[in-house]
Amino acid sequence: MISNPEFRRNLWIEMTTHRLISMPLILAILLFFSYLTNGSELNQGVADGAQFVALVLTMLWGANMASEAVLGEVREHTWDSQRMSAMPAWSLMWGKLLGSSIYTWYGTFFCVLLYIFASELTMLSTIKHAVLIICSGLLAQALAMLLALMFIRKDDGIVRSPSILFVLFAASTAWGFFSLATHSAATLQWYDLSCDTINFGLSSMLFFLAWTWVANYRLMRAELQINNYIWIWLSFVVFLMAYTAGFFGVATLKPYYEAAFSVPLSVAFAVAVVLTYWMLFSESKNPVNYKRLLLLLAQKNWHGLQSGLQCWMGSLLLAVLSGLVLFAQMMSEEVMNSIFVIALLLFISRDICIVLYLNFNANRKRADMTAMFYLFVLYAVFPGIFASMDMSTALFFPLDDSNAWVSAAAALVECAFAFWLMRSRWRRNYSQC
């Protein structure tokens, strides 16, 4: 570990003599105050106080340090020199991730020790909670760095990086998993399985922590101009679809909902749709990359396409496939619901064409923000106007009532028109590139 140059550099920067002395002193003052407020006894209250301090250190301070490990390099114009170094992507990734937050882990070490010593839980439960604290911090920090890497992958440049938003999102996500594992309920239902809450939460956190590290590694590879293949992203989307659908298992819903078999598949479909939009707005939509994709497709270079396809394309593929399966399943239950699925897929296609149309402009500055504004108008402003006039809103988003056919037809027309606009702009600006 010490042989990693990036980790060693961060170690020398963060672990100065003054900081090595000040951290235990400050923690001793805070935890002694917790000790006094809990009757001057080492009890569960003191353990909970140590747990709280450890979570603040890792999930907030540590996540900010992990995010700034990337954003700070870009702002100080030293990122390009690191990208051109001979350091492998894996070493650069974990050296930044663990090295930048090493000081927070130094403080967390004392907090976890006190938690184990003061906890009134059984030894096994205490160890599980200690592992949860560590994994929560690792997950928050990995997510914060992941969001920072996604941010710099965009072509818009960094003028003002929203690092505080990255930290809040990462900490909220990690806290969600921590709360799931420490929920008061002894068991939870996942598909047809009755799972121990803390074991399920800890397992979930470990799985998502592994996926987050893989994502950081892939983005670091992309920063070093190394090709990534789409299969890893497709595997993650399938995993997330299956994981999320498990909370809406048939055994749980069947007593209350006759069409319970459609619910897990609907949830999986919704996950694929959300990830499609997320990655559509997160990834760079440089027309040069799309020109390369079209060239690879014309050459039938399938191996090259695997590394050239963007993540939102993979998510869209899985959304279409799961949507078609859901359509076939709903046809036997409720026709209007099945038409709703087709209309939704058409509206998604329309939105993608709008986003690409704006990004294919000669001046692509703030194209994604403009697209978000237009979609807000289409999904909120126009339907609000029509609804206030007692008119149908089927022209603007999919409906599952008697207007489902109207909604599907409108979506088809709008999708065709948006595709024509996108294709026309592409041919005008980039067909001869």
Strands in 16-85 per DSSP E: none
Could you state, in order of their start, the residue ranges of all structural domains in the chain?
1-186+193-221, 227-333, 340-433
As a whole number of angstroms, the distance between CA 65 and CA 144 comes to 9
pLDDT of amino acid 297: 87
Residue with tokens 């990655």: 279
Task: Write the pLDDT tens digit of every residue in 230-266.
Answer: 999 999 999 999 999 988 865 554 444 445 457 888 8
- The per-residue pLDDT for 333 is 67
Q: How far is CA 430 from the centre of its chain?
A: 32
How far is the C-alpha of 352 from the C-alpha of 367, rounded, in Å?
13
pTM of the full structure: 0.89
Helix (H, G, I), strand (E, B) or coil at 226: coil
For 133-152, give one letter per residue: b (16+ CB within 10 A) or e.
Answer: bbbbbbbbbbbbbbbbbbbb
d(CA 145, CA 6): 15
195 has which bridge partners? 188
Q: Which two tokens stand for residue 169?
A: 């999102």
Which pLDDT score, from 0 to 100, does residue 260 have?
A: 47
Q: Which helix (H) or strand (E) holds 195?
A: strand 193-196
Residue linked to tokens 């050296």: 95
- What percentage of residues in the chain have a pLDDT greater than 90? 53
Question: What pLDDT is stored for residue 160 in this prediction?
Answer: 62
Kindly state the tokens that stand for 153.
């992958």
Successive 10-residue mean pLDDT values, the chain, 433 residues: 84 91 93 86 88 95 94 86 85 92 95 92 91 96 95 66 88 93 82 87 94 96 89 96 84 47 84 96 88 88 86 95 89 75 93 94 84 93 85 78 83 95 90 61
Count, in order, helices (H) and strands (E) of the chain.
20, 2
Q: In terms of DSSP bridges, do strands 187-190 and 193-196 run parallel, antiparallel, or are they unpaired?
A: antiparallel
Helix%, strand%, coil% for the chain, nearest 5: 75, 0, 20
Report whether 82 contacts 73 (CB < 8 A): yes
Give the three-class secondary structure for 74.
helix
Neighbours of 116 (CB within 10 A): 16
- Give the pLDDT confidence score for residue 113 in this predicted structure: 94
Cβ atoms of 233 and 311 closer than 8 Å: yes
Q: Which long-range contacts (CB under 8 A, 24 or more apart) does 90-95 make?
A: 90/217, 90/220, 91/4, 91/5, 91/6, 92/6, 92/220, 92/224, 93/213, 93/216, 93/217, 93/220, 94/4, 94/7, 94/213, 95/4, 95/5, 95/6, 95/7, 95/8, 95/9, 95/10
Which secondary structure element, helix H or strand E, spans residue 187, and what is its range? strand 187-190
163-181 vs 123-153: helix crossing angle, rounded to 10: 150
